[in-house]
A and B are shown apart, each in its own frame.
Chain A
């Protein structure tokens, strides 16, 4: 996908920043401010060490925009490539499995979280407003669901299934 212009690399907000606990608002994909935010999200994702995914609230925009790129992760199967979705919506989810994940907004902790390993997500591309449907599995599916949670003000901490599922160490597949 192509977003015109170079976005700005923004600071990734760390929990307990209040922006990470708010429900993000739907946005107009053709709005120049939304296009700019999408560019910033992508530019920030490209600089992020894991490079797997980010959601707009993590860079201070309480808007329903996510970016992801699962191509580099060793446990990826599907990989739609570098993608930014506006107003994304999970329409199908199946085959739930536990997996350990971290978050760019939570330093030093990981958690075991049950996620669907096969999903369908719909959304629109910033700028063109083109409607897209993405089928994802394995790590890409986990990454997308993690980013969707950010749009609802949820962190992986809100999904760990018990005391023994929270871990101190960072993890290589931080979503």
Chain B
């Protein structure tokens, strides 16, 4: 069964999600993973849907006023859902807004093989906040990484905290 990635971006108003998901249901698309948020008053949604779907037909069905929808066929990941070998951490950055914060911090994480598995940034007034979930390979020198992150944070006039996730596995 084919997989399609659907992105929805547009002016937020009541009923956008209902309209998009209703159109997907009419096309026989089964929603697998999805995420939705508001970005500065715009609705932003990404969905992975399965089914024997025609990309053009699906795009036509999903068309909504003031909403841009894209549909792309994607290949299924064979290792999807398999347990990772990384160790989970949470990164917080907060400080004055300026260009380059995400690139500077993510470059440090990437240099040790760190994988950002989720990220959210918010601008409120002058305050810029970045929260990221990060998987680190087990062999990473975490203390050394934290020193490098602190140095990057200092250069950005920002505070950075990097701490282990504390999942309660039952």
Q: Which residues of A contact B (CB under 8 A)?
A: 14-16, 21, 106-109, 114, 153, 155, 157-158, 160-166, 168
Contacts and interface: CB of A to CB of B under 8 A. Distances in A.
Contact of A109 (B95, B96, B129): B129
Contacts of A107: 124-125, 127
Given A106-B124, A109-B129, A153-B159, 4 more contacts: A107-B125, A155-B94, A163-B131, A166-B131
Given A16-B158, A21-B159, A109-B124, A160 B131 contact: yes
Contacts of A21: 159
A108 B124 contact: yes
Interface residues of B, number: 25
Nearest to B38: A168
B81 interface: no
B interface, over-half SS: strand
Contact of A15 (B90, B92, B94, B120): B94
A161 B164 CA distance: 9
Contacts of B92: 157-158, 160
A160 B124 contact: no
A5 B50 CA distance: 70
B124 A163 contact: no
B133 interface: yes
A162 B90 contact: yes
Contact of A16 (B133, B157, B165, B166): B157
Given A14-B125, A158-B159, A158-B161, A164 B118 contact: yes
B119 interface: yes
Given A16-B95, A16-B126, A157-B92, A165 B158 contact: no
Contact of A157 (B96, B118, B129, B165): B129
